[in-house]
Structure 1
Amino acid sequence: MSVKEPTTAQTVTPLALIRDVNFRGFWLAGALGGMMRWLEMLAIGVFTFEVTQSALMVALVTMARTVPMLLFSAFTGAIADGFDRRLMLLGGLGVLALTSAVLAGLAIAGRIELWHVALGTFIAGIYGTLEHPVRRSLLGIIAGAKAGATGAGVALTLDSGTNHCMRLVGPVLGGLVLTRFGLPGVYVFGAVLFSLGFFLVLKAQYQSPHYDDAVPRILGQIVEGLRYIRTNPKIMGTLFITMAINIFGFPYVAMVPVIGDQILGQGAVATGMLLSADAAGALAGALLIANFARPHHFSAIYFYCSIVFLGGVLAFSLSQFYALSLVFLFLSGLGVAGFAAMQSTIVFTAAPPEMRGRLMGVLAVCIGVNPLGILQVGILADWFGGALAVTIITIEGLAAILVAALLWPHFWRRGN
């Protein structure tokens, strides 16, 4: 692995990291942003379906959040290797707070339209390009300085678990806020959360490393990073599975409001509980991983948890009963825990320090292929309905995992 162990070994626990005031600022800012992301996703999905009665439109508006990751993340990653990550994060949070305030004003005035919502979602997606190469890299760098690869793994797993916790809270809170205060309440809440995140990052301190020629060679650095990936099968296989899960797995989220309404006959709050069941499983899994996973387990956890996630979503798509759907999504969440924690951890720990930003940026690009899956599931839903659309994409995803097992056997062979 490329993360160097510190000369003095330290035991790093999630609690010890949280006690570090600088780590805590970047971590909490991510938690607040994650809460708003999941709250907004549910609220906007319900709002879009109510306005258009089109599953495809729900998918397209959801897709607006992930398109920027595909288009811009490689550039963000290369820039992050030469600029102050803290300043980049401050700029993004400031723009999000302002955007939420403007949308809140439009909603309160009764002048908000669907294209306003989609534009706000797109801007939030641009901020999302900072998540892996900027904010999560900051967490890994701070923890890695304390305990090397193990410390970085604990930090990124903690952050992943926190995101799952926000997924647990966000959709239910989104349903409650949307039911009680409507869309204006959702955006007012967003303006408050993003402003809090801005001030948390403003108080945190970070010594920005600079590498030679990092700024003027952005395109060259991207090419250099891609060449390095070709030489590293561990990173190559991880990126392939990341793309598969984002094309054939996570797009199911866009169909949860549709399935909740059409198949399970539930309202906004109960539909939010479906996403929260997934998040509850993910949180439980992340806690286990943070306490027991070691570097030699990372690849196996990533591989097998990807299978568990797809299997759980497949079972959910076939369910006709609300209670059973909650159980299946809880199980899928257990799989998400290992997948989400390990994709960042494997790439970060395997990357040379001077390439972390750009390689985490490439990871974000692979996550950014999600719009292809959302578009596919939206079209399939218009043809066959939301539930069957999810069934089809998850079967495709399991086939892609089989391909990964054949191409990169280190995922399942012992000792790799």
Structure 2
Amino acid sequence: MSTGPGANSAPVPDRDDSDTPTTPGAAEAPAPPTAPAPRKRGMFSSLRNRNYRIFAAGQVVSNTGTWMQRIAQDWLVLSLTGSSAAVGITTALQFLPMLLLGLYGGVIADRFPKRLLLLFTQTAMGLTGLALAALTLSGHVEVWHVYAMALLLGVVTVVDNPARQAFVVEMVGPDDLPNAVSLNSANFQSARLVGPAVAGVLITAVGSGWAFLLNGVSFVAPVAGLLLMRRGELREVDTTPRRKGQLREGLRYVAGKPELIWPIVLVGFIGTFGFNFPIWLTAFTDDVFHAGAGTYGMLNTLMAAGSLAGALLAARRGASRLRLLVGAALLFGVLEIAASFAPAFWLFAALLVPIGMLGMTTNVTANSSVQLATDPAMRGRVMSLYMMVFMGGTPVGAPLVGWITDAYGARIGFVTGGVVSAVAAIAVGLMLARIGGLRLKIDLRRGRRHVEFVPREVPRPEEKPLAAA
């Protein structure tokens, strides 16, 4: 790679020095200015932004607390009721508000400053943890208390999710957005590795109440981070005035942009049918491999490790392309199919790492590509639709996938999710290629690219009469 002067400037034709005037004393013409070298981007480039550094540090703490509460909450419900169905009800209550009210959360996120909204939502989420801690530590907790807190947390998340997603670009700008989205995912997956382990120790040693207490206190970190941000460095966007029809306006906006609607459709299918790992991993652990809770925990750890690796690789890559999204989604489905028929435990466990990696690549690529293709004034509504489709499908897909798994076995349940994911990726890929004027080219000759999308050949205007004849 050239590193000399002008390496970054556009190439110019060679000139003949004999044609250049050489009048003595004549001033030399100034050399044309070279284009500034682009800023080098790396795996953690978005952390150069002070506001985002503070935000990410706060999220590390609160995400760890959130994972602690998830484990402690499920264990508390199981201890109070002895019912796995009750644990499922708790999960459904936490995700149901996103399915029913997600779009309204996006409207609110577009109407108000994102930083102000996050101060309220993060505080409210911390208070739910503290309330559950007080009930548990005092010995007065009942299962309906846990249900109520899970539902309240879900309602707050309806506003928190789109506001937090849309706030990222205000901190880092569009150039660093893909990297920041990837690091957010890496942040969450890192907490997924640490939080459950800490929660397990706390539950065993002193009970679930202390896990709830630490989760509530953990939200001090993101709230303090939001207060310490330099508002002058934020790329604030104009809020949308309140008026009728804003929800329909957001839906029409998404429906009219193929680069938005088809990635959202794809993550909807994958989130609803391809991400039901709690169902499949418990079934494989108990029914297929006849192991215990330790094995189940190890499988979850392998999945989380793959997801973390996928998020970091996405951060290093930076760019978000739709062909990467479709390719990662297709491989994700294919590997799920392969894992479902794995004859040995070690092979099944090993496949969970690339499955986690490709699942995270799909999620991160879709998230950043949708945000970059969205007008800032619409970003809250678009991201609320994205999160509603991705997360809100859980109460719909999980019971169906669970029924298939119970009725036909763990392998059939897992392969169903893989087939749906792979077929959805192929269908969306073909649709995007058609919209983009591309066609699939297959060339089996040696030394050639065997499969690729190439532009369709459009006949020139003067050729049309001949073609018609």
- Fold-level match, TM-score > 0.5? yes
1:232 equivalent among 243, 247, 257: 257
3-state DSSP class of the match of 2:111? coil
2:202 is matched by which residue type in structure 1?
V
Between 1:96-105 and 1:34-43, the stretch displaced more is 34-43
Which residue does the alignment assign to 1:202? 227
2:241 counterpart of 1:215: yes
Shift in Å at residue 39 of structure 1?
A: 3.5
2:387 alignment partner in structure 1? 364
Q: How does 1:180-329 map to 2 (within 5 A)?
A: 180-206=205-231, 207=234, 209=236, 211=238, 214-217=240-243, 220-257=245-282, 259-295=284-320, 298-318=321-341, 323-329=346-352
* 1:184/1:388 CA distance change after superposition, 3 Å: farther
| Alpha-carbon shift at residue 403 of structure 1 (Å) | 2.8
Structure-2 separation of matches of 1:406 and 1:99: 45
Contact 1:89 1:134 (C-alpha < 8 Å) held by counterparts? yes
Name 1:141's counterpart in structure 2: 170
Aligned length: 402
Separation in 2, partners of 1:406, 1:259: 34
In structure 2, distance between residues paired with 1:386 and 1:51 = 28
187-196 vs 265-274, which moves further: 265-274
Q: Which amino acid aligns with 1:373?
A: G
Range that drifts further, 240-249 or 375-384: 375-384
In percent, how many aligned pairs have the same letter? 26
What is the rounded CA distance, in whole Å, between the counterparts of 2:72 and 2:291 in structure 1?
14
2:98 aligned partner: 69
SS of 1:110's partner is: coil
2:356 maps to 333
Q: What TM-score results when the alignment is normalised by the length of structure 2?
A: 0.76
Query: Relative CO higher for 1 or 2, CA cutoff 8 Å, sep ≥ 6?
Result: 1
Report the more deviating stretch, 387-396 or 155-164.
Answer: 387-396
Distance change in 2, residues 1:113/1:330 (3 Å): farther
Give the aligned partner of residue 373 of structure 1.
397
**Counterpart amino acid of 1:304?**
G
Q: Is the 8 A contact 1:282 1:330 kept in 2?
A: yes
Unmatched segments (≥5 aa) in structure 1? 1-6
Q: 2 CA distance for matches of 1:90 and 1:236?
A: 30
Q: Which whole-Å deviations, capped at 9, do the CAs of 1:343-393 have from their partners, x for residues lacking one?
A: 210111001122111111211121222211122233334544556434433
Asked if the contact 1:264/1:320 (under 8 Å) is kept, the reply is no
What whole-Å deviation, never above 9, does each CA across 1:289-316 have from its counterpart, x for those lacking one? 2222424xx2122222223333444455
Does the 8 A contact of 1:104 with 1:185 survive in 2?
A: yes
Structure 1: distance between partners of 2:82 and 2:355: 28
Q: Distance in 1 between matches of 2:333 and 2:204?
A: 31
Amino acid across the alignment from 1:157: S
131 and 249 in structure 1: CA distance in 2 versus 1, 3 angstrom threshold: farther
| Gap change, CA 1:40 and 1:165, over 3 Å in 2 | same
Deviates more, 1:175-184 or 1:364-373: 175-184
Distance 1:164 1:15, change over 3 A: same
Which range is displaced more, 93-102 or 116-125?
116-125
Question: What's the TM-score, normalizing by structure 1?
Answer: 0.84
Q: Deviations over 1:79-125 (max 9, x none)?
A: 22221211211111111211111211222233333332233222332
**1:142 offset after TM fit, Å?**
2.1
Question: Using the alignment, how far apart are the partners of 1:352 and 1:8 within structure 2?
Answer: 28
Structure 1 vs Structure 2 CA RMSD: 3.1
User: The residue matched to 1:272 in structure 2 has which SS?
Assistant: helix
Distance of 1:254 and 1:404 partners within structure 2: 26
Matched ranges for 1:40-119 at <5 A: 40-48=69-77, 55-119=84-148
Task: Give the 3 Å change call, closer, same or farther, for CA 62–311 of structure 1 in structure 2.
Answer: farther
**Structure 1 segments of 4+ aligned residues over 6 angstroms from their partners:** none
Hey, what's the Cα distance between the residues in 2 that align with 1:388 and 1:112? 39
2:156 to 120, 127, 142: 127
Q: Distance in 1 between matches of 2:195 and 2:417?
A: 25
Q: Residue 59 of structure 1 contacts residue 375 of structure 1 at CA under 8 Å; is this kept in 2?
A: no
Matched position secondary structure for 1:408:
helix
